[in-house]
């Protein structure tokens, strides 16, 4: 089942995403107008160090109006492979590089209105190796033990969907490696 696109126009072209408006024909023959955010793919990382800590970041998010505890994440640049993006972003956001990287899963974030599709990686064998961060990001790194991180997530104390979802994807590997 799909919707047939009858027409599409670009309402706005932004730095991070574009806004399209599409006229579609639905399976019942009726037409509808849909507003769609066209967003590049993105990545999120679960950085696990040798001492059993996961590296989170805390950053102010203007769209939310609050500081949020999140896993490191970023947007794939044009021509960049998702895995290369993950290794770059973790250096920019946490100042560490990872010698081991493993794809855990992939998901849409808000499939109702955005094309953004995220790749989630477990990254290990971490060592200090900073890259300059983005000018408009103000980030604090917080190392949280695996046990505390999952307790916080299950208790609803992590208010970011991708971070909670990434922890579930990582659970079979992280629990294995901690036992």
Site of interaction with its own copies (CB under 8 A): 1-3, 5, 11-12, 14-17, 19, 22, 24, 26-28, 30, 32-37, 39, 60-65, 67-68, 70, 104-118, 135-136, 138, 153-156, 158-162, 164-165, 167-169, 171-172
**179: Cβ contacts below 8 Å, ≥ 6 apart:** none
CA distances from 24 to 9, 33, 58, 113 (A): 12, 6, 40, 14
Our answer to whether residue 22 is catalytic in this structure is no
Nearer to its own copies, 127 or 178 (CB): 178
Q: Quick one: 11 or 50, whose CB is closer to its own copies?
A: 11
Note whether 20 and 10 are within 8 A (CB): yes
Smallest distance from the beta carbon of 134 to its own copies, in angstroms? 10
Residue (37 or 84) nearer to its own copies, CB: 37
Calpha distance 46→120 (Å, rounded): 8
Q: What is the DSSP string of 6-62?
A: EEEEEEEE-SS-EEEEEEEE-TTS-EEEEEEEE---EEEEEEB-TTSEEEEEEEEET
CB of 77 to its own copies, least distance (A): 15
Options 38, 100, 135, 157, the catalytic residue: 135
Q: How far is the CB of 13 from its own copies (least distance, A)?
A: 10
Active site residues: 135
């Amino acid at each position: 089942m799909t919707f047939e696109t009858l027409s599409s126009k670009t309402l706005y072209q932004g730095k991070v995403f574009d806004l399209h408006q599409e006229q579609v024909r639905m399976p019942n023959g009726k037409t509808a107008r849909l507003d769609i955010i066209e967003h590049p793919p993105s990545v999120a990382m679960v950085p696990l160090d040798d001492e059993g800590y996961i590296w989170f970041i805390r950053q102010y998010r203007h769209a939310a109006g609050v500081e949020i505890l999140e896993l490191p994440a970023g947007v794939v640049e044009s021509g960049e492979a998702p895995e290369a993006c993950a290794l770059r972003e973790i250096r920019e956001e946490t100042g560490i590089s990872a010698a081991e990287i493993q794809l855990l899963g992939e998901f849409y974030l808000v499939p109702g209105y955005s094309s953004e599709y995220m790749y989630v990686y477990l990254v290990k064998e971490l060592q200090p190796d900073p890259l300059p961060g983005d000018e408009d990001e103000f980030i604090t790194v917080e190392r949280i033990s695996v046990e505390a991180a999952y307790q916080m997530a299950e208790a609803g104390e992590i208010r970011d969907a991708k971070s909670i979802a990434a922890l579930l994807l990582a659970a079979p590997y992280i629990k294995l490696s901690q036992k």
